[in-house]
Amino acid sequence: MIVSAIIFIILGILIKYGKMYWLIAGYNTMPKEEKEKYDLDGIATVFRNVMFGMALTIILGYFIANWTEKSVIQDYAFGASIGIGIPYLFVKSNSKKYKLKK
């Protein structure tokens, strides 16, 4: 589970600071005119924050599971991070907040 948390952290860093926007689903296939209509830096910030939050949830779940000796907590933390993080990411990044007004 820690490996998946590390992957989320790396993805967040690559998208935000490495400017690897092609990792954002749908962005790579947009025409150039369409890409110019979005605040990509804002969307990248949302991706970074959500990926970091998901990683933190997984890591906390791992340590709490080890501390309480109940491994099922780790599974719940992972499920919650995916079940809440991914829909939040889709809703937030597709909101009108990141569409530039021209």
In the prediction, which pLDDT does 8 show?
A: 95
Look up residue 31 and give its two tokens.
């025409």
Could you report the per-residue pLDDT of 16-44, keeping only the tens digit for each? 999 888 888 788 788 888 888 888 899 99
- Asked whether residue 101 carries a pLDDT value surpassing 80, the answer given is no
In the prediction, which pLDDT does 64 show?
A: 96
> Distance between CA 6 and CA 91 in Å, rounded?
24
Q: State the total domains in the chain.
A: 1
The residue range of the domain holding 18 is 2-98
**Is the separation of the CB atoms in 47 and 12 below 8 Å?**
yes
Widest distance between CA atoms in the chain: 56
With CA atoms as reference, report the closest residue to 27 among 38, 17, 16.
38
Model pTM?
Answer: 0.86
**Is the separation of the CB atoms in 84 and 51 below 8 Å?**
no
**Is the separation of the CB atoms in 37 and 102 below 8 Å?**
yes
